[in-house]
Amino acid sequence: INYQRATFLTSAPDIKALPADQGIEVAFAGRSNAGKSSALNTLTRQNSLARTSKTPGRTQLINTFSLDADRRLIDLPGYGFAKVPLAVKEKWQKSLAEYLQKRQSLKGLVVLMDIRHPLKDLDQDLISWAVASDLPVLVLLTKADKLASGARKKILLEVREASMAFMGDVTVHLFSSLNKFGLDEVEQVLDTWYQA
Ligand code: GDP
């Protein structure tokens, strides 16, 4: 797949407003500041496709991008931002779970986690919901450039080990938008999802 061809499609306030449930889509999710926008920009080789460094938690929009007539990338709102009211959080978690359960065109979920803070509660919930919906999950340990090679390998092995507990199709890779570390692996996994 030529990820450079991504173009902005729509911003949806909730899952009901997403494009028609046809073709194949892959969704990106992660805590605010995990490096999701940077990863989307790196994948698509576009500096400002997904905006980076917006006020965390403010924009709860689902941004959608088209790769071609049948394939989409979905940028889910970042979660885990402390200042969001509990009611908003709960509403969002409910619709996220519903999206993972009901969306026919969704063929895979990418979960981004800062390598220095992996597998927080909400990350684990999200992976559990995806596995329960038979969705494959690609966990990206982002900002891998922040750690020395020995330290990041250790965390990679720990997270891979912990991921076995989900009893699903969960792949874990290191990633860095700064030096493109792990980009080939991401493309390989996404290519198989988009081919399905
Ligand atoms: P988002 O909230 O998940 O979309 O996160 P962003 O992509 O906006 O990134 C949050 C912060 O982390 C920004 O200051 C980025 O510059 C920084 N960042 C993102 N990816 C990387 C990376 O691979 N390496 C380093 N060192 N910093 C990164």
By alpha-carbon position, which residue is closest to atom 6 of ligand 1? 35
Q: How far apart are CA 146 and CA 130, in angstroms?
A: 28
Whether residue 190 is predicted with pLDDT greater than 70 in this model: the reply is: yes
User: In this predicted structure, what is the pLDDT of residue 46?
Assistant: 93
How far, in Å, from the CA of 176 to the mean position of ligand 1?
Answer: 9
Alpha helices in the chain (DSSP H): 36-44, 86-102, 121-132, 149-163, 183-195
Strand order in the sheet with 71-75: 7-12, 62-68, 71-75, 24-30, 106-114, 137-142, 170-174
The CATH fold of domain 3-195: Rossmann fold (3.40.50)
25-43 pLDDT, tens digit per residue, is 999 999 989 999 999 999 9
Ligand 1: residue of 40, 46, 52, 173 to mutate (most ligand atoms within 8 A of CB) is 52
Residue with the smallest CA separation from ligand 1 atom 21 is 143
Confidence of residue 86 (pLDDT cuts 50, 70, 90): confident
pLDDT tens for each residue of 164-188:
999 999 999 999 999 999 999 999 9
Kindly state if the Cβ of 143 falls inside 6 Å of ligand 1: yes
Q: What burial letters (b/e) apply to 55-81, b meaning 16+ CB within 10 Å?
A: ebbeebebbbbbbeeebbbbbbbbbbb
Nearest CA to ligand 1 atom 12: 35
Residue 113 in tokens: 């986690």
pLDDT (tens digit, 9 = 90+) per residue, 130-170?
999 999 999 999 999 999 999 999 999 999 999 999 999 99
CA–CA gap between residue 54 and residue 36 (Å, rounded) = 12
**SS3 state at 44:** helix
CA distance 186 to 172: 10
Residue 17 has φ and ψ, to the nearest 5°, of -90, 10
Confidence (pLDDT) at 21: 97
Residue 54 pLDDT: 57
Q: d(Cα 118, Cα 113) in Å, to the nearest integer?
A: 5
Beta carbon of 52 within 6 Å of any ligand 1 atom = yes
Atom number, ligand 1, closest to the C-alpha of residue 177: 23
Q: What is the pLDDT of residues 89-136, one digit of tens each?
A: 888 888 888 899 999 999 999 999 999 999 999 999 999 999 999 999
pLDDT category, 15, cuts 50, 70, 90? confident
